[in-house]
Amino acid sequence: MPISQLMIFVTGIFLLLISVILVMICLLFLVECIAAVLPSNTSINPLINKRNWQDIQVAVLVPAHNEELTIATTLDRLIPGLKPQDSLIVVADNCNDTTAEIAHGKGATVIERHSLELRGKGYALDYGLKYLEKQPPDAVVIIDADCTVHPGAIEKLSEHAIATGKPVQGTYLMTTPTDSQSSKKLVAQLSNIVRNLVRPRGLNHLGQSCLLNGTGMAFPWSVISQVNLATGHLVEDLKLGLDLSIAGYAPEFCQSAKVTAYFPQQERATKSQKTRWVHGHLQTMGTYVPLLVKQAVRQKRFDLLISTLDLCIPPLSLLAVLWLAIMTVSVLFAWVGTSWIPALLSAIAGLCFLTAILTAWAGFAAQELPLTQLLIIPFYVMGKIPVYLNFLIKPQKIWVRTERDYERETVTS
């Protein structure tokens, strides 16, 4: 066989494998979105009331780095949901502002950590857990310092965690202020709704676990005390959820517990946040996909295979870019003599992807994002391509906190 024909043959096999994986990913995405629009079971799980809420001791852990302009508002919304026996711990992590003083003035227990070498949210959380070891609570709830905790969220998260003995992730949505709702920000909001509401809700309806999002999550002390959070991983929340799933504590989704935050409005901060999320997700895929498959076979657990596929669903803009690239290459090679099967499978994957997006939009984002705004999606996707290319050239490896809008304003004023 001539070398040229051999290369075409090998490429055809490679495209077939890639297109099969793409179909599986897009099909799972579609199933998640369809399952999400189905009505939820409104009956109360009898386990949730197994233990009276008033008897549960909860510790709320708030990692904070230079949050002097947001911490007061966060604590004001959070404190009314606590009981007398609960504790509120603010970890002032490498702060050089008045975050600690403000938190202390609001009645929180403040512990300060200073380490220029060990930077990252994971180290702050580990420091807080070590403090709690002296008087362990029943459950630990983690809330970011720039979030708004909606009424009842702490109660619902901690009750669910205690009743099931598993980690629990609430609904964490990022929104755009009404005075700065650009088309790109609205599309980013749709992407966030799909990732943090639609997909976990669909998985929950299918009886599967969800990923952790870093805030608005609760853990039984018996579970969280077993893990090592001292890491500078770019997406320590994603890593934590996967580690717990492998250990038999697969996170569950509690939609009624709501936590919200604003997208950064400055372009530089938005790019920094997106880069950390995307690069962290891709690095985690490379590390955990083979590990999850191995553990699924060893433990004979189908749910870990579903978690593997779910982890393989990249950010939606990246998935769109990958689909377009695979579809284009498959068609080109089909014209020169390879099989049309990869192109056909890629077309099916594209149909699943498009249907999933429209299903999610119609069920959960039609009011926030008019149909005409969906036309901006191709331009939004193209704007993210440099972030993906940068992963191939110079992937981010060090955790970097997202710059707050008020910090940018201070620098430029």
- Contact present, 320 and 353 (Cβ < 8 Å): yes
State phi, psi for 87 to the nearest 5 degrees.
-130, 150
- Contact present, 129 and 225 (Cβ < 8 Å): yes
**Would you say the C-alpha torsion 388, 391, 394, 395 has a positive or negative sign?**
positive
Show me where the domains of the chain are located.
46-276
- C-alpha distances out from residue 242 to 31, 256, 284, 304, Å: 21, 23, 10, 9
For tokens 């018996």, the residue is 222
Would you give the distance in Å from CA 282 to the centre of its chain?
13
For tokens 């935050």, the residue is 261
Among the listed residues 194, 193, 294, 304, the one whose alpha carbon sits nearest the alpha carbon of residue 241: 304
* Those residues with Cβ within 8 angstroms of residue 77's Cβ, 6 or more apart along the chain or in another chain: 148, 149, 150
Give pLDDT, residue 412: 37
Give the Cα-Cα-Cα angle 14, 351, 206 (nearest 5 degrees). 95
Question: Which two three-digit tokens encode residue 26?
Answer: 């897009």
Q: Output the tens digit of pLDDT for each of the chain's 413 residues.
A: 566 666 767 777 888 999 999 999 999 999 999 999 998 765 545 455 555 678 899 999 999 998 988 899 999 999 999 999 999 999 999 999 899 999 999 999 999 999 888 888 889 999 999 999 999 999 999 999 999 999 999 999 999 999 999 999 999 998 876 655 566 777 788 889 999 999 999 999 999 999 999 899 999 999 999 888 887 776 788 899 999 999 999 999 999 999 999 877 666 656 666 677 677 788 888 899 999 999 999 999 999 999 999 999 988 888 988 999 999 999 988 887 778 899 999 999 999 999 999 999 999 988 877 777 776 676 666 666 666 666 666 665 555 555 555 444 443 33
State phi, psi for 140 to the nearest 5 degrees.
-120, 130
- C-alpha distances out from residue 150 to 81, 110, 182, 208, 381, Å: 9, 23, 25, 25, 32
Give pLDDT, residue 51: 58
Question: Which two three-digit tokens encode residue 169?
Answer: 């992730």
Give pLDDT, residue 119: 81
Cα–Cα distance between 124 and 110 in angstroms, integer? 12
Q: How many CB atoms lie within 10 A of CB 188?
A: 19
Give the Cα-Cα-Cα angle 320, 324, 330 (nearest 5 degrees). 145
Among the listed residues 315, 350, 364, 367, the one whose alpha carbon sits nearest the alpha carbon of residue 36: 364
Helix locations, 225-340, DSSP H: 236-246, 267-299, 302-311, 316-335
Q: What is the dihedral of CA 401, 404, 410, 413, to 10 degrees?
A: 120
Fold held by 46-276: Spore Coat Polysaccharide Biosynthesis Protein SpsA; Chain A (3.90.550)
What's the farthest any 2 CA atoms get from each other in the chain?
A: 79
- Contact present, 236 and 122 (Cβ < 8 Å): yes
Q: How many CB atoms lie within 10 A of CB 329?
A: 18
Which tens digits make up the pLDDT trace of 25-58?
999 999 999 999 998 765 545 455 555 678 899 9
- Contact present, 231 and 120 (Cβ < 8 Å): yes
Which tens digits make up the pLDDT trace of 282-328?
888 889 999 999 999 999 999 999 999 999 998 888 898 899 999 99
Question: String of b and e for 138-155 (b: at least 16 CB within 10 Å)?
Answer: bbbbbbbbbbbbbeebbb
Among the listed residues 50, 201, 197, 12, the one whose alpha carbon sits nearest the alpha carbon of residue 138: 50
